[in-house]
Amino acid sequence: MAEIKLLGLAHSYLGSPKVDSDYAIRPLDHTWPQGGTYALLGPSGCGKSTLLSIISGLLTPSEGKVLFDGQEVNHVPPEKRNIAQVFQFPVIYDTMTVFDNLAFPLRNQRVSEEKIRIKVKEVAEVLELTSLLRKKAKGLTADEKQKVSLGRGLVRDDVSAILFDEPLTVIDPHLKGKLRRKLKQIHKQFNITMVYVTHDQLEASTFADKIAVMYAGQIVQFGTPRELFENPQHTFVGYFIGSPGMNFIDAVLEGDFLVLGKDRLPIKKELASRLRSLSPQRLQIGIRPEFVRVAKQHHEHALHGKVLGVEDRGTYKILTVELGTHRIKARLDEDQNVPENEVLLEFPEARLKLYADSLLVEV
């Protein structure tokens, strides 16, 4: 078991970093409770692979501490950290059979051959590799190779966390689902902490109990897929999760109303006073395309927009509307009728989010 804690952790590849942009990972505090499945989700260059390397020990952070079950492990090398890692490209020992590949870590630890045989058989069965045990690892397909990589981590009794660095990148699309199912099964059976790095929100949401969204070297939100979808704490989370991402419109506060161009929307008094005390430089409202409604009749708080286009996505339609200087997307059912030129949109208050300088405003 491993609870992984990061205290004041930061990393810069430069000797003496001065500004934020010098850091690959800006100072952060984070705890991953033991035994869960977690995803580290973010776009290329956000620092997620760096963070994973720090956790595995392949990289020593320039600042801060990494703690496993309360013990500082900054200078403990990977081979002593009781972790296993599965990389983007399947890493297998070409000259060995699948059996020997799986046995390799145990042989290095001088475990008895008898024990090795039992363990390897057990892991091979879970991963559905039993029929391939005698085969040379070189001739396997990409997904089989990844399973062998994973297997090498599972054979060891001392593994308390498995780290995955975008492991499904080279796998054929129609085999990805199978491997994802396998990973979930493994987690249930072995109950190990698993941290999975990816840029794909589908993979993250499917695999993880909780997702840490990373942006520009910072973890901007740590929550369940549902929380990330329904309550994004940061505009980046709203943008990155969901296809298409959240709509953002710049607004100005006037009394208890938000002014968006020519339209006005009322908001709760508490929110308005909160906003006044924050007095942000930039105020945005966010609403997901799934929650944007096409108003049936004109009413006071309907917003006027011009229809720019409709995309038929098969199971649903995406309506693109011009609202002042912004482009809003709304998700419509496949059978819903689409207006021609002008359209009235409504933003249900319960689904409307306010962002002051990119951070969610809550009361």
Partner 1 sequence: MSLIMEHITKVVGGETHINDLSLNFAAGTFQVLLGRTLAGKTTLMRLIAGLDWPTSGRILANGVDVTGVSVRKRNVSMVYQQFINYPNLTVFENIASPLKLQKIDKSQIEGRVRATAVKLGIEPYLQRYPLELSGGQQQRTAMARALVKEADLILLDEPLVNLDYKLREELREEMREIFTLRKTLVIYSTSEPSEALALGGMTTVLHEGRVVQQGPTAQVYQKPTTALAASLFSEPPINLFSGQVAADEVTFDNQVHFPLNSDLKHLPTGHYLFGIRPHHLSLRPAHPHDLELGVTVDLAEISGSETFLHVKHRETDMVLHLEGVHQFEVDASLPIYLPTHKLFVFTPDGDLIHIPRSAAQG
Partner 2 sequence: MQKVPNNNAWLLVLPVFGLVAFSAIIPLMTVVNYSVQDIFDQTNRYFVGLQWFRETLRSPSLHDALFRQFVFTLSVLIIEIPLGILVGLMMPSQGKGATLSLIILALPLLIPWNVVGTIWQVFGRADIGLFGWALNNAGIPYNYASNPSDAWLTVLLMDVWHWTPLVALLVYSGLRAIPSVYYQAARIDRASRWSIFRYIELPKLKSVLLIGVLLRFMDSFMIYTEPFVLTGGGPGNSTTFLSQSLTKMAVGQFDLGPAAAFSLIYFLIILLICWVFYAAMMHVGKEE
- Which residues sit at the interface with partner 2, rule CB under 8 A? 56, 58, 77-79, 83-85, 87-89, 91, 93-96, 104-105, 108-109, 138, 149, 152-153
Give burial (CB, 10 Å; 0-12/13-18/19+) of 355.
buried
Nearer to partner 2, 91 or 216 (CB): 91
358 binds, among partner 1, partner 2, none (CB under 5 to 8 A by kind): none
- Please say which residue, 192 or 258, places its beta carbon nearer to partner 2: 192
Task: Between 151 and 305, name the residue whose CB sits nearer to partner 2.
Answer: 151
Per CB under 8 A, the segment of 10-18, 200-208, 213-221, 260-268 that binds partner 1 is 200-208
Residues 146/84, Cβ–Cβ less than 8 Å:
no
CA distance 233 to 27: 19
| 158, interface contact from partner 1, partner 2, none, CB < 5-8 Å by kind | none
- By CB under 8 A, tell whether 284 contacts partner 1: no
**C-alpha separations of 161 from 34, 52, 193, 342, 362 in Å:** 9, 12, 5, 55, 35
Strand-pairing partners, residue 163, are 85, 195
| Backbone conformation region of residue 6, classed left if phi is above 0, alpha if psi is from -120 to 50, else beta | beta
Distance (Å, whole) CA 152 – CA 143: 14
User: What is the DSSP pairing of strand 25-32 with strand 37-41?
Assistant: unpaired
Bridge partners, residue 346, by sequence: 293
Q: Based on CB atoms, which residue is closest to partner 2, 151 or 245?
A: 151
Are 163 and 86 spatial neighbours (Cβ–Cβ below 8 Å)? Answer: yes
Does residue 174 belong to the site contacting partner 1 (CB under 8 A)?
A: yes
Q: Does 322 bind partner 1 (CB under 8 A)?
A: no
350 binds partner 1 (CB under 8 A): no
Residues 202 to 231 in contact with partner 1, rule: CB under 8 A: 202, 205-206, 224-226, 229-230
Task: Indicate the residue among 74 and 189 with the shorter CB distance to partner 1.
Answer: 189
> For residue 77, is the peptide bond before it cis, meaning its omega torsion is within 30 degrees of 0?
no
149 binds, among partner 2, partner 1, none (CB under 5 to 8 A by kind): partner 2
Residues that bind partner 1 (CB under 8 A): 43-45, 172-174, 177, 180-181, 184-185, 188, 199-202, 205-206, 224-226, 229-230, 239-245, 288, 290, 311-315, 335
